[in-house]
Chain A
Amino acid sequence: MSQAVTAAHTSAIDALHTVYVAALDQGDMAAWAATFAVAPETSYFCISAENDRRGLPLALMYDDCRGRIDDRVSFVTKVWAGTYQPYRTRHFIQRLSCESAGNNQYRVTSGFMIMMTPEGGATTILTSGEYRDLIELQGEGDKVRAVFRERRAVYDADVLPRYIVFPF
């Protein structure tokens, strides 16, 4: 059953975006993972617009189950620690559309831009792109909380300006 999209729904969805941005901009990978649903089939993909447009399935990050989302946290915090050149990010998100998908789920698309600042360096644009999400509202009334069931970050850069540590 489809349901109407109300201000309360979009407010919960926007709050999820805010939590997501705050997590990544603070480099808090556990908080990033916590924005996703705990259901096993929850997914996160980060893919170039070129692959996406051409129907090529390969992605930059291909986390097609909840376990892989948790494993990405381990990559960043345990496997790669001490090897990469640190950089900070600032994410900016603009919600573009929101449609009900039934069962308290919503198809949401948003534009994003990520600024990056390498330690000791100037701030530049890492990439822009579009999030295509399936967001689920859990709980009732004042307790309602949004989580990602699917997040697909389609980034615009045909060639990324550096190697990538953190999710988009």
Chain B
Amino acid sequence: MSAHSTHAYTGEAPKVWPAKVNQIPKEIFGDAAIFEEELKKIFYGDTWHVVGHTAEVPNIGDFKTFDLGRVPLLIARGKDNQVRVFFNSCTHRGNQLETSVSGNRKEFECPYHRWLFSLEGTLAACPGSKEFAPDFKQENFGLVEVKTDQYLGLILVTMGKNTPPLKEWLGESALPTLTALLGGDGRLKLLGYQKVRYASNWKGYNDNDGYHAPLLHTGFRLLNWQGGKGFQRMTENGHVIFEAELKPATGNGFLKDPSLIAFKGSNPERGSVITQLFPMTVMTKHMDVINLRFAIARSHDTTEVHYAYFAHEDDSEELVQHRIRQSSNLLGPCGMVSMEDAAIFQRIHIGNQTPGFAEFQKGVTSLTEIPTDVKQNDETGNLPRWEHYRKVMGFKREGEQ
């Protein structure tokens, strides 16, 4: 017998969630008002956000621009070799300072009134300053820095007042996997980007699970690509870590060029690792692909992802070349494996504009307890993240005071 919806559907997300922890109200994906709340409570709140890696700006004067929600950021390497994150805004009238996505500058100049800023953010020149307000002091008008910290070159920022220190926020249990993912020491070399917008809510983009992999991805079956032993681990503040051994794929004769799926890495016991940081950063090392996905929540129904790929500084030329072709063809918005994930991000967003709940099943052992111990191919690894999200957003559960 099929179920019938018993409530009028408004599309408005409920402020009280069901008592059952494996049910997520579907309206949470499509409600534009909720997105405004998320900007305040999550993206501008007490959470760290991944905005880049220092390998993207390897030389003095290199910069890239990025957005945190609607806030424009300017990430630049100074003459002192420090990478800083500024608001991309002239300290005079707020004009957008840098318009390029990336580049190299000797300084940053606002064209409006020619205020000139050094790579380190100090205000170097401002025409006509003799006639400025009596309290004007040039040293007080440097570019405003966003609170930032790094882990092995990974650049994170926060605008919250009470954000915990970075290492505490990442959690001890997440560090070994993240370290392995970043090549052990973070000495990475940028290979390039694949940038795309998905017609999906950021939470749908970020809700992929351990259950789907052998079922959605036909390529794994066609290539006789078996997953190895592994685990999935979560932190209370919504991070998820996956690790799996990688058995060499036989290829089954399916590919004319099986070298694409060759694994040349030296650590097969960590052949496939994923670190997913709350709220929406997914990073993976799969075979010889090192992929950091810098994501921007543009609106309730648009998520932008900059898939950035890296080699390690110590790689041989041959390994770099292998990484380039494997990275280009496997895990991006046109990748043999992950194009299907991208399709799901958009389809799940359309399908969730309906009444009822997104139902988690695989691995659920309790309807009232948030799982802490999950298996590799369970989808319950996502529930601690949803619980953290619910608490940060201030939604109560049925029966909760």
Residues of chain A touching chain B, judged by Cβ–Cβ distance below 8 Å, are: 46, 48, 50-51, 54, 56-65, 67-68, 70-71, 74-75, 78-81, 83-85, 158-165
- Determine whether the beta carbon of B216 is less than 8 Å from that of A159: no
Chain A residues within an 8 Å CB radius of B336 = 75, 79
Main secondary structure on chain B at its contact with chain A?
A: mixed
- Determine whether the beta carbon of B195 is less than 8 Å from that of A84: no
Chain B residues within an 8 Å CB radius of A161 = 196-197
**Could you tell me the distance between the alpha carbons of A60 and B324 in the complex, rounded to whole angstroms?**
11
Known: A85-B343, A163-B334. A65 touches B195 (CB 8 A): no
Chain B residues within an 8 Å CB radius of A68 = 256-257, 260, 325, 329
Mark contacts of B32-75 with chain A using CB atoms, 8 A cut-off: 1 yes-contact digit, 0 otherwise.
Answer: 00000000000000000000000000000000000000000000
Mark contacts of B179-192 with chain A using CB atoms, 8 A cut-off: 1 yes-contact digit, 0 otherwise.
Answer: 00000000000111
Contact-residue bracket for chain B: 35 or more
Known: A58-B309, A78-B218. A160 touches B257 (CB 8 A): no
Residues from 168 to 212 in B contacting A, C-beta threshold 8 Å: 190-199
B102 at the interface (CB under 8 A from A): yes
Contact partner of B197 among A61, A80, A160, CB < 8 A? A160
B347 at the interface (CB under 8 A from A): yes
- Determine whether the beta carbon of B328 is less than 8 Å from that of A59: yes
**Could you tell me the distance between the alpha carbons of A165 and B343 in the complex, rounded to whole angstroms?**
10
A-B contacts, CB under 8 A, total: 120
Give the distance to chain A from B253, nearest Cβ to Cβ, in Å.
Answer: 11
- A166 to B, closest residue via Cβ: B334
Question: What would 19 more interface pairs be, CB under 8 Å, given A75-B219, A79-B218, A84-B343?
Answer: A48-B192, A58-B194, A59-B192, A60-B332, A61-B334, A62-B324, A62-B328, A63-B329, A67-B255, A83-B340, A84-B339, A159-B196, A160-B194, A160-B197, A162-B198, A163-B196, A163-B346, A164-B333, A164-B339
- Determine whether the beta carbon of A67 is less than 8 Å from that of B309: no
Known: A74-B254, A162-B196. A56 touches B339 (CB 8 A): no
B246 at the interface (CB under 8 A from A): no
**Could you tell me the distance between the alpha carbons of A62 and B325 in the complex, rounded to whole angstroms?**
6
- Determine whether the beta carbon of A158 is less than 8 Å from that of B101: yes
Chain A residues within an 8 Å CB radius of B383 = none
Chain A residues within an 8 Å CB radius of B328 = 58-62
Give 18 A-B contacts (CB < 8 Å), ordered by A residue.
A48-B193, A48-B195, A50-B102, A56-B190, A56-B193, A58-B193, A58-B194, A60-B333, A60-B334, A61-B334, A67-B255, A79-B219, A79-B336, A84-B340, A85-B347, A158-B101, A158-B195, A164-B334
